[in-house]
Amino acid sequence: MHKEHLILSQADHDFLMTTISQGHMAARVFKRATALLQLHQGQTLIAVANSLQVTHQSVARWRDNYLVRGLQALEEATRSGRPIRIDGKQRAQLTALASSTPPTGHARWTLRLLADKAVELGLCQSLSHTKARAILKKTVCSRT
């Protein structure tokens, strides 16, 4: 098996050495920086992977990512996914609404009534009764 060398520029090497010596960083960033430095020193992917207790595919991905993005490869790339529709403030308002007195004509809040009222008040654009239940389940709120 041949060695997978990586040649860092002097500026990148100095930055990585400074970053690692500071000690205030996320573990993922530390592992990526250490891997790049070890590859620069001439270690193989497998040797670097063993020293950092990761797979050699991870080290190869970090190396390839560095070659494409430079030092930005140390940070996490933004991940795709559905954006949050109901944030923490809106959840707190829904919990407060559930703890308030129910509307006239009702002895207590039902989940459907609570979801409809939240949309009516403009807390969110849409809210199903099952989502309202899931939000309230994560709190110590009682609808009685």
Summarised one tens digit per residue, pLDDT across range 57-91 is 999 999 999 999 999 988 887 778 888 888 999 99
Q: What is the pLDDT of residue 1?
A: 47
Tokens of 52: 């950092």
52 in Cβ contact with 35 (< 8 Å)? yes
pTM of the model: 0.57
| 138 vs 30: CA distance, rounded Å | 34
pLDDT, tens only, 14-31? 999 998 888 788 889 999
> What are the boundaries of each domain within the chain?
10-74, 88-137
Question: What percent of the chain lies above the pLDDT cut of 70?
Answer: 94
Q: What is the pLDDT of residue 2?
A: 53
pLDDT at residue 93 is higher than 80? yes
